[in-house]
Structure 1
Amino acid sequence: MTKEMTFNGVDMSRFFRITNIIRPVGNKRSITTDDAPSLGVNVQQVKRGAKEHTIKFDMKTMTAMEMERLKHELAGVLNVLEPVKIIYGDEPDKYYMGLPVDDITPDNITRWFQRSEFKILIPDGVAHSTAYKRFDNPKVETDKIVFDLVNNGNVDAEPIITIKHNAENGYIGVVNAKGALEVGNREEADTEQYKQSEILFDYVTNNGIVKGLQQGQKNAAILNDLSQNLNGTLGIDNTWGRPHIALTNRGSGTRPNNAGSVSWEIPLDSSKQHGALNEYIWWRQIFWLGSANQLGFIKIAISDTEGQFLYGVETIKRANGLDVEYNFLASNGKGGYNLIKQWVFKGTHEETANPFNEPRGWSDLLRRDDMVQVYWWGSYPQFHIPEIKGKKSAKIHVALGTFGNRPQVTHMYLDDIVYRKDFVTGIRDIPNRYRMGSVVILNSENDTVTVDGIEKAGDIVDAPTFIKIPPGKSQLEMYFSSFIKKTPTITVNFEERHL
């Protein structure tokens, strides 16, 4: 009996013919007991352990040399240090996460025909469905949203709940028969007496970056230095199916670097005031090299009402190699700037190396007068800068540039940007924790809460108990702030899991 097997994306039929796959019913069980007073025992704990599969197979080649070469190649495929995806041909709708254990010693029937077996440990003890089950049509009741769910697995599923806000909100509560999870603040109010935060421009919602490029002033940026000729051309690039601002023509001139820029004046707030001492800027950028000799930079800069550079960050690659700098810069009060903090990352596609690769790129700055908080890879360091105290921000600038005629960075984009002014006086309505258009993901697979792509463990109320979906039919209830004006768009996705 021949069965297909895919191990970590590799079709194993190129190495051997499977004669049998032994998959025990259920899982290993361990029971902890103590003596009963007069008869039998008391069961203290029942624990289900891992699964273990045994793969029996034959290997056949034309010569002994081919056999040994094939065995070395097989050893390389099986040499994994953590569980990988395994799919069997007779269970095409499921996959396992496993890794080989023990050695593989073949029976040498002949030098060109060998028979053996190996064991695979499935640490999480379950089979996962290859497709996520999706629920996106809940019942809307007076004070809650209710999902009727069906889990056809025989163990709890771990849902990924995505909430796209269609109105401001400050609280999300999720409840079912297995537990409850709260994020935000149940008591968060929609108004305050004197102060509020206001989104003054939003170039995120509905591909807003296209509108942002149209509305912004071109090649008038106030940056930390004057090393670039600001006569390049910015345009819209749609790589990966989403719009980005990209440098489409670098320009030229007498200065060593060439760039194009776009600037936005901070609009009047609701009290008709210009400028800000308290503000928040969120953006998404991509900085991904195509080769090690590419150079370039993205600068996000804030200038004051006098037309002087205040503070900002630059993502800059200035030499051959993979190292890219992420620098926080601020005014020195003398017309120049200081490098306040520098981080270095690798400009590759790797998730662990580059915070600005294709699926990510989120970052933000928060200002409280002379204090600026900079987001860097899950941390929020704060810096006090006396030189900017009392100086109001007036404009936001973004520049994309190159070093002379050196090759340009392949993927160097601005995808989104949002500006929020904080502590606006005279208006009672306040933006809440979750702005209109924000996306909150409650992920029970990895026990995380993210808001617009940035992890927000601090939003979780008390010790987190991430929701599980029991087998069979069940209901999931969701609650929001009492002041919410429009129901969010919610999807619940989960893999069904089987013992």
Structure 2
Amino acid sequence: SRQGVAGGMKVMTLPADSNGHVGAVNFYSYFNIFAWAGAFGQTGLLQVLFTDKNDKLVAGYGVSKGDMVGNKASMKCWVGGNSPREYASNDFISNNGEGNGAGSMNNTSFNERTGHSDFVKTGSQLEFYWKGSRIKAIIPELETVEIAKVYIYIGQYVQSNKFMTNLSLRNISYRKDKVSVWSNVPNRYAAGSVVEIDMENDKIFTNGVATNKDFVNGGKFFSIPPGESTIIINQSAFNHTPPQVELTWKENYL
């Protein structure tokens, strides 16, 4: 039999943009999820749901653990449109990422040290972050549908009395993309963002999420040549808070 779920929900309406409009056809949200069961058989459900202004589902991302015996949980994503449904599900062991024989199901995504996740809507294309890449769905009828609200739901399976020791949304932010007119444009990276550039492996991460799409055309990943080098770091003129910069490197003996 299917288990019922009971819990609580918070609803956030997107603020109006600088043009006074609420809603975004092209939308991005970063969020950090922590899912670590402290004992076998603990259960719970966490969802981040994106809807239009009439509360109709556009897409959702979440973690579900209905296993009342063991320690298996699932990352799930949902799509709306004409046929609202679960679109993808990926199992993992809800440990703290320490391994212990979990192999490919080790909780490398939602443990105490990680949790980085995101969702992107670009017209009819929906993208859900999972282990360094994005699960993509094309839902044609959502091409011009605007996301206007974010629902956060945390609940428990009613047949269980063992809620997960750790099941929480630690951080969430969102933005509207590809608007026709911008005014008072904020920095692309919110205060407190951590941007990591891995020159050795040609990778960029923002708050732990792979963001090579931010690479500037014509730019180059570089290594430090032998001898003395000077690295000059410039910030945009509109930014009045200098970034904290940390450089690390590996020495190679020639």
TM class by shorter chain equals 0.7 to 0.9
Change over 3 Å in CA distance of 1:450–1:391 after alignment to 2: closer
1:464 aligns with 2:235: no
2:66 & 2:4 partners in 1: Cα distance? 12
Structure 1 partner of 2:87: 340
Q: Which amino acid aligns with 2:85?
A: N
Structure 2 partner of 1:360: 114
Structure 2 partner of 1:375: 129
Change over 3 Å in CA distance of 1:489–1:272 after alignment to 2: same
Find the residue that maps to 2:134 and give its secondary structure: coil
Change over 3 Å in CA distance of 1:373–1:432 after alignment to 2: farther
1:439 & 1:468 partners in 2: Cα distance? 26
1:346 & 1:368 partners in 2: Cα distance? 31
Structure 1 partner of 2:18: 270
Partner of residue 142 from structure 2, selected from 377, 388, 391: 388
2:193 & 2:214 partners in 1: Cα distance? 14
More strand by share: 1
Partner of residue 327 from structure 1, selected from 76, 98, 102: 76
2:190 & 2:138 partners in 1: Cα distance? 28
1:317 aligns with 2:87: no
1:350 aligns with 2:105: no
What does the per-residue CA deviation read over 1:218-276, in whole Å, with 9 as the maximum and x for residues that have no partner?
Answer: xxxxxxxxx9xxxxxxxxxxxxxxxxxxxxxxxxxxx9322122111111111111222
1:421 aligns with 2:186: no
1:294 aligns with 2:48: no
1:488 aligns with 2:237: no
Post-superposition shift, 1:309?
2.0
Q: Which amino acid aligns with 1:369?
A: G
Change over 3 Å in CA distance of 1:489–1:384 after alignment to 2: same
Pick the structure with greater CA Rg: 1
Q: Is the 8 A contact 2:34 2:169 kept in 1?
A: yes
TM-score of the two chains, using structure 1 as the length reference? 0.43
Post-superposition shift, 1:277?
1.2
Q: Which amino acid aligns with 1:346?
A: I
Q: Which amino acid aligns with 2:36?
A: W
Q: Which amino acid aligns with 2:72?
A: D
Q: Which amino acid aligns with 2:138?
A: H
Post-superposition shift, 1:445?
7.7
Structure 1 partner of 2:101: none
Change over 3 Å in CA distance of 1:399–1:466 after alignment to 2: farther
Q: Is the 8 A contact 1:444 1:467 kept in 2?
A: no
Count of residues in correspondence between the two structures: 241
Q: Is the 8 A contact 1:439 1:452 kept in 2?
A: yes
What does the per-residue CA deviation read over 1:267-296, in whole Å, with 9 as the maximum and x for residues that have no partner?
Answer: 111111122211111111101111220111
2:200 & 2:122 partners in 1: Cα distance? 36
**What is the Cα-based RMSD across aligned positions, in Å?**
3.0
Structure 1 partner of 2:151: 397
Q: Which amino acid aligns with 2:40?
A: A
Unmatched segments (≥5 aa) in structure 1: 1-226, 228-254
2:55 & 2:233 partners in 1: Cα distance? 48
Q: Is the 8 A contact 2:37 2:95 kept in 1?
A: yes
Q: Is the 8 A contact 1:269 1:424 kept in 2?
A: no
Post-superposition shift, 1:455?
2.8
Post-superposition shift, 1:481?
3.9
Q: Is the 8 A contact 1:331 1:387 kept in 2?
A: no
